[in-house]
């Protein structure tokens, strides 16, 4: 989610740190989504930017609005479509982009990404023991060159309880196509309480794919080429229903400690 897409990844792999560092400024006036009992309806960031989540009559997400504030106030709107089995089939936005979800026997096998009706990239999915283990990413070779090429892959590893333990990203040597290990993230110290952002934190390509159903306490990122490590710690407060209402993230930026807080609304 743009908790998520907008949050800055410190070492070039933004897809991994979707719930991390907000880079937005100049808050805009919030438009509150209609409340739905027990459902997460809004995520508000420390600088005033926010995400709104809307639901249909079945309790499924019908729309996510990402309220940007940099470089100027702007709303990115994502609309969700489902099949008769309540599986998402298409996510489209107000920028002319869309994501089509393909299933085999009810399991997500591919997502196709289009811009202005042109397929820009697609991803294939593999599973082990019922959990997503590998994503292969294919991108257009060029504007004038037909075809697509394997450009990167993501590997996922899990704890025994099913929560995400590690994710590793690879690129490929353009000449030999040998994989190059680029970046990894260790997920540590889960607190055992429900994570309401899991269904939406990676929604463009991984909506309805469970990854981390509990709240992580620490992330350790590693630039595999340079060996540089960065640690993020998280502290939560909860309401009487056991849902998080604040999430404070602490990390070092330029050697100085930084704290940022996300607020949850239901």
Asked whether the predicted pLDDT for residue 218 surpasses 90, the reply is: yes
Asked whether the predicted pLDDT for residue 85 surpasses 90, the reply is: yes
Asked whether the predicted pLDDT for residue 31 surpasses 60, the reply is: no
Residues 6+ apart with CB under 8 A from 100: 89, 90, 111, 112, 114
Asked whether the predicted pLDDT for residue 141 surpasses 70, the reply is: yes
Q: Of 2.60.40.420, 1.10.760.10, 2.40.160.190, 1.10.287.1080, which CATH number belongs to 7-265?
A: 2.40.160.190
Asked whether the predicted pLDDT for residue 24 surpasses 70, the reply is: no
Write down the domain spans for the chain.
Answer: 7-265
The DSSP annotation for 159-184 comes to -TTS-EEEEEEEEE-TTT--EEEEEE
Task: Quote the pLDDT of residue 27.
Answer: 43
Task: State phi, psi for 104 to the nearest 5 degrees.
Answer: -130, 120
The per-residue pLDDT of the chain, averaged, comes to 88
The pLDDT tens digits of the residues spanning 33-83 come to 555 678 999 999 998 899 999 999 999 999 999 999 988 899 999 999 999
pTM of the predicted protein model: 0.84
Identify the weakest region by mean pLDDT among 35-39, 118-122, 129-133. 35-39
Asked whether the predicted pLDDT for residue 23 surpasses 70, the reply is: no
For 14, the 3-state DSSP assignment is: helix
Alpha carbons 10 and 12: distance in angstroms, whole number: 6
The percent of residues above 70 in pLDDT, for the chain, comes to 86
Identify the weakest region by mean pLDDT among 28-37, 72-81, 161-170, 190-199. 28-37
Q: Are 88 and 102 in contact (CB under 8 A)?
A: no
Task: State phi, psi for 162 to the nearest 5 degrees.
Answer: 95, -5
Q: What is the mean pLDDT of residues 85-98?
A: 98
């Amino acid at each position: 989610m743009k908790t998520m897409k907008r949050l800055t990844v410190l070492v070039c792999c933004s897809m991994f740190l979707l719930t991390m560092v907000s880079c937005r400024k100049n808050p805009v006036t919030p438009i509150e989504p209609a409340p739905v009992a027990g459902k997460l309806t809004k995520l508000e960031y420390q600088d005033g930017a926010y995400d709104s989540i809307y639901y249909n009559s079945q309790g499924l997400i019908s729309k996510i609005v990402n309220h940007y504030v940099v470089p100027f106030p702007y709303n990115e709107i994502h609309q969700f479509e489902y099949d008769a089995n309540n599986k998402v089939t298409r996510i489209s936005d107000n920028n002319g982009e869309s994501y089509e979800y393909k299933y085999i026997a009810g399991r997500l096998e591919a997502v196709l990404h289009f811009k202005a009706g042109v397929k820009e990239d697609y991803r294939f999915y593999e599973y082990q023991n019922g959990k997503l283990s590998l994503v292969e990413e294919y991108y257009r070779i060029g504007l004038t060159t037909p075809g697509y090429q394997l450009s990167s892959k993501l590997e996922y590893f899990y704890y025994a309880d099913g929560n995400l333990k590690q994710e590793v990203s690879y690129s490929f040597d353009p000449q030999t196509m040998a994989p190059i290990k680029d970046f990894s993230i260790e997920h540590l110290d889960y607190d055992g309480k429900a994570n309401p952002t899991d269904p939406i934190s990676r929604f463009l390509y991984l909506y309805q794919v469970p990854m981390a159903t509990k709240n992580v306490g620490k992330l350790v990122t590693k630039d595999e080429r340079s060996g540089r490590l960065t640690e993020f710690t998280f502290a939560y407060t909860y309401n009487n229903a056991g849902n998080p209402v604040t999430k404070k993230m602490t990390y070092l930026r330029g050697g100085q400690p930084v704290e940022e807080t996300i607020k949850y609304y239901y």
